[in-house]
């Protein structure tokens, strides 16, 4: 996953009107600047999970074991599991990494736990693998606790490069792979955490909306990504992907992965440009089936279904799941493969 350099100029979206809806949405740079001044940074203290960020079957495990030691939290543990396997308990890599936490056999033999107390240590069982991943993190954190710098970043670096490298270099070692790994997990952590305070606005949001506005009235195409061969048509996530690609942010192809491209503002904190998501299972972000781009006033631009056109639609429906404020770091961090542990 790559993110190209953001363009310096903002695109201002003017007033937009949809048939009889009669609402007006103005995107003004000052709105974003004011919101940015109000927005806080990363919150300290206890870190909870964002709504549905972890499949419901694993949420209690992640919440419990994510507080095993100060170097980790539930959102960080969730980010690791998502990066490793996409929460797939049957995942297996070409390097023989196994299960939801992608342990290789040698690491599992040394660090696997019987997390559920049933008498065995099963790398394929999340009830064992998730506690083992947390325990392994904490063991690494303890090993490098005297190293200067951020203890969580040092722990992640030890997870990737080994604790001896962290000790040798007095912190995150100067290995590109390790530095990228630390950045990926800490960026993904934000998308799994329940926001505390205001969420920073996206600088690319206005340009993404401007792109989507130009596609109003275009016929929906399942699987459409806007190519010439497809007649410039889109499905829902194809439209949002293209809108953010127009401002040099590369999102994943499918809606439930786009949910992890940044932090999650609450309904009353939505700003134009936020992605809004819909699901028949409001407890599980992996079940998301639809996405649109919020434009204000309770409406989004979306590509709804076969036989319809790209249009303005209300977001306040019973299947509204939540929202994501897209960030460059968040989009860049989304995994394209499952590394091994």
Going by pLDDT thresholds of 50, 70 and 90, the confidence category of residue 248 is: very high
Mean pLDDT confidence for 143-154: 95
Active site residue 84: yes
The percentage of the chain sitting over the pLDDT mark of 70, rounded to a whole number, equals: 85
Going by pLDDT thresholds of 50, 70 and 90, the confidence category of residue 20 is: very low
Closest-CA residue to 49 (of 71, 65, 33): 65
Q: From CA 79, how far away is CA 87, in angstroms rounded?
A: 10
Going by pLDDT thresholds of 50, 70 and 90, the confidence category of residue 38 is: very low
The catalytic residue among 63, 84, 189, 190 is 84
Going by pLDDT thresholds of 50, 70 and 90, the confidence category of residue 23 is: very low
Going by pLDDT thresholds of 50, 70 and 90, the confidence category of residue 336 is: low
Q: What is the mean pLDDT of the chain?
A: 86
Q: Is 92 exposed, middle or buried (0-12, 13-18, 19+ CB in 10 A)?
A: middle
Of residues 211 and 1, more confidence is placed in 211
Mean pLDDT confidence for 277-290: 94
pLDDT for the residue numbered 46: 63
For residue 246, pLDDT beyond 90: yes
Tokens at 242, concatenated: 């293209």
For residue 42, pLDDT beyond 80: no
Mean pLDDT confidence for 246-268: 94
Q: From CA 144, how far away is CA 133, in angstroms rounded?
A: 17
Tokens at 285, concatenated: 């972000």
Ranges 181-185, 191-195, 239-243, most confident: 239-243
Mean pLDDT confidence for 268-285: 95
HEC profile for 294-333?
EEECCEEEECCCCCCECEEEECCCCCEEEEECCCHHHHHH
Give the tens place of pLDDT for each residue, 63-110: 999 999 999 999 999 999 998 899 999 999 898 999 999 999 999 999
The percentage of the chain sitting over the pLDDT mark of 90, rounded to a whole number, equals: 75
Mean pLDDT confidence for 20-42: 35
pLDDT for the residue numbered 199: 86
Going by pLDDT thresholds of 50, 70 and 90, the confidence category of residue 304 is: very high
pLDDT for the residue numbered 195: 85
Going by pLDDT thresholds of 50, 70 and 90, the confidence category of residue 47 is: confident
pLDDT for the residue numbered 196: 80
Rounded to the nearest angstrom, the gap between the alpha carbon of residue 119 and the centroid of all alpha carbons in its chain is 35
pLDDT for the residue numbered 201: 87
pLDDT for the residue numbered 74: 97
Of residues 335 and 49, more confidence is placed in 49
pLDDT for the residue numbered 203: 85
Tokens at 64, concatenated: 């419990």
Closest-CA residue to 300 (of 321, 283, 331): 321
For residue 12, pLDDT beyond 80: no
For residue 312, pLDDT beyond 90: yes
Mean pLDDT confidence for 155-173: 94
Q: From CA 18, how far away is CA 209, in angstroms rounded?
A: 14
pLDDT for the residue numbered 9: 29
Mean pLDDT confidence for 173-187: 94
Asked whether the beta carbons of 250 and 331 are under 8 A apart, the reply is yes
């Amino acid at each position: 996953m790559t993110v190209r350099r953001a363009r310096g100029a903002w695109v201002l979206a003017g007033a937009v009107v949809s048939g009889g809806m009669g609402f007006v949405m103005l995107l003004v740079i000052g709105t974003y600047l004011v919101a940015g001044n109000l927005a806080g940074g990363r919150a300290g203290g206890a870190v909870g999970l964002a709504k549905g960020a972890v499949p419901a079957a694993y949420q209690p495990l992640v919440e419990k074991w994510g507080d095993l030691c100060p170097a980790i939290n539930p959102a960080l543990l969730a980010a690791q599991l998502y990066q490793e396997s996409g929460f797939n308990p049957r995942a297996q890599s070409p390097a023989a990494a196994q299960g939801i936490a992608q342990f290789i056999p040698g690491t599992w033999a040394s660090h696997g736990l019987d997390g559920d107390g049933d008498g065995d240590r099963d790398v394929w069982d999340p009830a064992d693998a998730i506690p083992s991943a947390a325990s392994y993190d904490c063991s690494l954190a303890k090993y490098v606790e005297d190293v200067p710098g951020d203890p969580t970043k040092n722990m992640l670096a030890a997870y990737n490069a080994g604790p001896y490298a962290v000790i040798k270099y007095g912190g995150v070692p100067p290995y590109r792979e390790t530095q990228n790994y630390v950045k990926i997990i800490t960026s993904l952590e934000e998308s799994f955490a329940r926001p505390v305070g205001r969420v920073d606005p996206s600088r690319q949001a206005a340009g993404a909306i401007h792109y989507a506005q130009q596609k109003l009235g275009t016929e929906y195409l399942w699987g459409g990504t806007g190519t010439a061969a497809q007649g410039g048509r889109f499905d829902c996530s194809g439209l949002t992907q293209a809108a953010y690609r127009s401002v040099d942010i590369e999102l994943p192809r499918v809606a439930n992965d786009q949910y992890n491209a940044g932090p999650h503002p609450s309904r009353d904190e939505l700003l134009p440009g936020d992605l809004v998501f819909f699901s028949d299972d409001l407890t599980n972000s992996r079940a998301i089936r639809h996405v649109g781009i919020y434009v204000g006033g309770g409406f989004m631009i979306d590509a709804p279904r076969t036989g319809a056109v790209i249009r303005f639609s209300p977001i306040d429906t019973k299947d509204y799941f939540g929202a994501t404020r897209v960030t460059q770091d968040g989009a860049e961090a989304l995994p394209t493969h499952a590394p091994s542990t």
